[in-house]
Structure 1
Amino acid sequence: MNTQVPVLNIIGPVGIGKSSTANAISEVLEYDHAHLHAVVDLDHVRRGFPPPEDDPFNKELGFQNLASVWSNYRSFGAKCLIIPSVMESNEDLNKIRRAVPGADIFIVRLVASLDVNHARIRGREKSIDSLNWHLQRSTQLAEELAVKKLEHVVVDTENKSPNEIALEIIRKWGIVG
């Protein structure tokens, strides 16, 4: 018998603040609520080079690692899961459901103007090639995700701190009283 696992999937274009938001949510759940949880950043668990030709973003590796890592977190008492990641399709969401048995996924899409998103990317990328790729990819993803509407709610991150964003998402997710 699978028990329901609340899963928060934070989506949005590259550079929008998914990982920073997940970290802020984790801190609020830990320090303000003592709520047992785990954070698995799919970008981190699928990072390997070179990726297979037919999977340029190493998605399959990420979903396999998610299943293993979640199993370990669950065995140590985690009650819910926070996943920051670019999600581009319902197929990707179904792969999360397979990796996390009983997943009850709540999807939040983070948004900001392209100017703000691109300024964030410029502040973190180290090489011109990486910068140019991330700027192009963020524009593409912002447009695609706005059309696909995979999310339950949209949260505007412009002019908000990660903690303010975290509190807004926790309230909308309803994970704590």
Structure 2
Amino acid sequence: MEDNLAAIAFLIIFIIFAILSMQYGDRARLVPLPVAIGSGVLVLIQLVLQNSREASNLRLAVNAGELFGTEKIKESFEGKKIKDKTAGGKEGWAFLMLALFLVTILVVGIEAATIIFVAGYFRFINKAGWMRSLLWGAGTMMALYILFTILLRINFYRGLLEQLI
């Protein structure tokens, strides 16, 4: 219930943001309006997912401590989950992943880098299957393509490889 209240509060904020951005000029609203609409759609999707029957199967929250090795969750004999903190985390992995994403953008462009990054996240972090991971990656790229290339008429950076071809 608390998650629903927070999501509804954010939805209201995004709706107000969209209404206020309509008062801007034609070019000035090209960024805030799609951001508000896209964010509102994502909040609606979150509300639907967290209130559906299959929500227990989804692993949308990722424990950063477990991901980067500063915390391991173990189960006791009674079935309770215990957090075991380890000394010295692997924060460097987070920076490495970000740097790798930026280098991928530089080399192959935003479209391919987004598909690779999102599919990799769902496959290796969220432990989803390959098909589902690739669908999330392609779906994310399609949404970005529709928003930026079709609606806003902003072309993506194509990467250094396109200049070589």
TM over 0.5: same fold? no
Which has a greater percent of helix? 2
Which has a greater percent of strand? 1
Could you say which structure has the larger radius of gyration?
2
Higher relative contact order (CA 8 A, sep 6+): 1
- TM-score if structure 1 supplies the norm length? 0.27
